[in-house]
Amino acid sequence: METVYKPNKRNILITLVGSSIFIILGIFFIIKPDYFASSYFSKSLGMLGKPISIQIFGFLGTMLFFLLSIGVINIFFSNYALLITEKGFINNTSLTNAGLIHWKDVKHVKLNKGLIYIYVKNEKNYFSKIKNPLIKLNALIYNKTYKVSFVIDPKRLTVSENELLEIFKKHAKL
């Protein structure tokens, strides 16, 4: 038996619009740093108000939100955001898809700040399956940031976070 959860297109579009705004702002930071390095920025931010600092922030912001946009577009056009089977699940809610995660490897599942944290045995084996360097980097960043194997964002799905948490606990027999 397979359960397919579709992406929540409305929330994904809102994220995409927000990312686009920040990409445009970052490009303006790169192209016109003197405009943003006005006396207000220079006085209140010190070295961070200098044109070169503003260009660096613009570049980093543009790259960050560009990568976020790639992940969001990937979710938007995928057939499913989350696929749950008897063997395990495939998470497409973020740019961290490591393929099928087996239920037998799930150690713990919890809800934290609206995100579902999934702790697995042998997480390095799952990360080694990821061939795309961008997805691998994103998965490792998630791992270091949240101190968890995998993160599922229910806001990107058409199911509530509590309902999804119960589904995971039932399948993983926790």
What would the pLDDT profile of 63-119 be if each residue is shown by its tens digit? 989 988 888 888 888 888 899 999 999 988 877 888 899 999 999 999 998 889 999
Instruction: Give me the pLDDT at residue 135, please.
Output: 82
Instruction: Give me the pLDDT at residue 85, please.
Output: 93
Instruction: Give me the pLDDT at residue 1, please.
Output: 75
Instruction: Give me the pLDDT at residue 43, please.
Output: 64
Task: Note the pLDDT tens digit of each residue in 138-164.
Answer: 888 888 888 898 989 888 888 888 999
Residue ranges of domains in the chain: 8-77, 82-172
89 backbone dihedrals φ, ψ, rounded to 5°:
-140, 155
Instruction: Give me the pLDDT at residue 74, please.
Output: 82
**Is beta strand 150-152 parallel, antiparallel or unpaired with respect to 82-84?**
unpaired
DSSP string, the chain: --EEE-B-HHHHHHHHHHHHHHHHHHHHHHH-HHHHS-HHHHHHHGGGGSHHHHHHHHHHHHHHHHHHHHHHHHHHHSS-SEEE-SSEEEE-SSS---SPEEGGGEEEEEEETTEEEEEETTHHHHHHH---HHHHHHHHHHHHHHSSSEEE-GGGBSS-HHHHHHHHHHHHT-
Pair 33, 25: CB distance under 8 Å: no
Q: At 7, which amino acid appears?
A: P
> Given its phi and psi angles, is residue 122 left (phi above 0), alpha (psi -120 to 50 degrees) or beta?
left
Instruction: Give me the pLDDT at residue 156, please.
Output: 83
Task: Note the pLDDT tens digit of each residue in 24-65.
Answer: 999 999 998 888 777 566 666 667 778 888 899 999 999 989
Q: How confident is the model at residue 133 (pLDDT cuts 50, 70, 90)?
A: confident
Comparing CA positions, the residue from 160, 174, 47 lying closest to residue 119 is 174
Please tell me the distance from the alpha carbon of residue 157 to that of residue 171, in angstroms, as a whole number: 18
